[in-house]
Structure 1
Amino acid sequence: MLATIQKQPNNYVVTFTRSLAHSIDAVWAVLTENDKLQKWMSNLEVIDLQKNGKMHFNRNDGTDAFEEITITDYAKQQTLEFDWGKDSVRFELSMTREGSILVLQETISELTDHTPKDLAGWHICLELLCDLLNGIVHDEFPMEQWRKWFAEYELLIAHVENN
């Protein structure tokens, strides 16, 4: 399911929503435990899981280079928010009778040529996360699927910018 983009007075809020047939415990584990997290978002690493704690965005380029990310909001099994460059990424979990709902919101200060790439990346990462919860681990990032979603997000952003 394609994300939604809402234009705010000073930024844009992109929202991805996924209904999952998995418990909050299971989803929280794939968001916060490095051995699981890195199976759907290989660049992220939790260092200190708490508000004002740290994460690393690892370059994964053969060096040990990384960017330090600050966790700006945290409530165990409910909320994980962190800096994403000039922007922010927020995960929220809530329970349903069938499992849980995962909401990913990226707050973006300005739309750029890179934005649809980033959104397509999050889209694919959420698919990988869902697959991981269902016991499927991907050895490689699915670039063909990413290209498909990149084209969709280019159209969505063009629509938002023209309205």
Structure 2
Amino acid sequence: MFAIIEKQSNHHIAKFKRPFPHSVDTVWTAITQNENLQKWMGNLEIIDLRKDGKIHFNMNDGTDAYEEIAITDYAEQRVLEFEWGVDTVRFELSSTENGSILLLVETIHELTVHTPKDLAGWHICLDLLIDLLNGIEHTNFPMENWQQCFNEYQKRIGAVEKFS
């Protein structure tokens, strides 16, 4: 399921919606506990999980380099929002009869050449999260799948820009 990308008044939003046959508690744990988080988004490390807390984006390049990311909104088991450069990324969880729904919303202030890369990255990371919750762990990032998603998001961004 590719993200829906929409133009708002002065920004764009990309929405990824993923249903899970798992409880909110199970998904929340996978998103917020480092031993799980780093299995599907290896660069992120939660340092202080609360509103105005912080996350590290680790470069994973053999140095200890990282960027500090501020948590801008937080509600236990429901919302985790953080800075993503000049943009924001927001995870929202809700219960369903069959498990839960995760909504990831990236608020994008300016579409750039990097935007489809980010969207492809989130797409693949969400696929890795789904696999993790289903008992499958990946040791390598699936670059071929990322490349296919990147190509698709380039087209989608182009279409959004054309009609903006």
Asked if TM exceeds 0.5, the reply is yes
Q: CA deviation at 1:100?
A: 0.1
* Alignment match, 1:129: 129
Tell me if 1:22 matches 2:22.
yes
Residue-by-residue CA offset, 1:101-150 (whole Å, 9 max, x unaligned): 00000000110111111100000000000000000000000000001101
Q: CA deviation at 1:8?
A: 0.8
Measured on the aligned residues, the alpha-carbon RMSD in Å equals 0.4
Across the two proteins, how many residue pairs are aligned to each other? Answer: 163
Q: C-alpha distance in 1, partners of 2:80/2:157?
A: 26
Alignment of 1:49-60 (within 5 A): 49-60=49-60
Q: C-alpha distance in 2, partners of 1:90/1:66?
A: 20
Q: C-alpha distance in 1, partners of 2:118/2:72?
A: 20
> What are structure 2's unaligned runs of at least 5 residues?
none
Q: TM-score, normalised by structure 2?
A: 0.99
Q: C-alpha distance in 2, partners of 1:117/1:109?
A: 15
Q: CA deviation at 1:74?
A: 0.2
> What are structure 1's unaligned runs of at least 5 residues?
none
Q: CA deviation at 1:10?
A: 1.1
Q: TM-score, normalised by structure 1?
A: 0.99
* Alignment match, 1:160: 160
Alignment of 1:1-163 (within 5 A): 1-163=1-163
Residue identity (%): 64
Residue-by-residue CA offset, 1:64-84 (whole Å, 9 max, x unaligned): 000000000000000000000
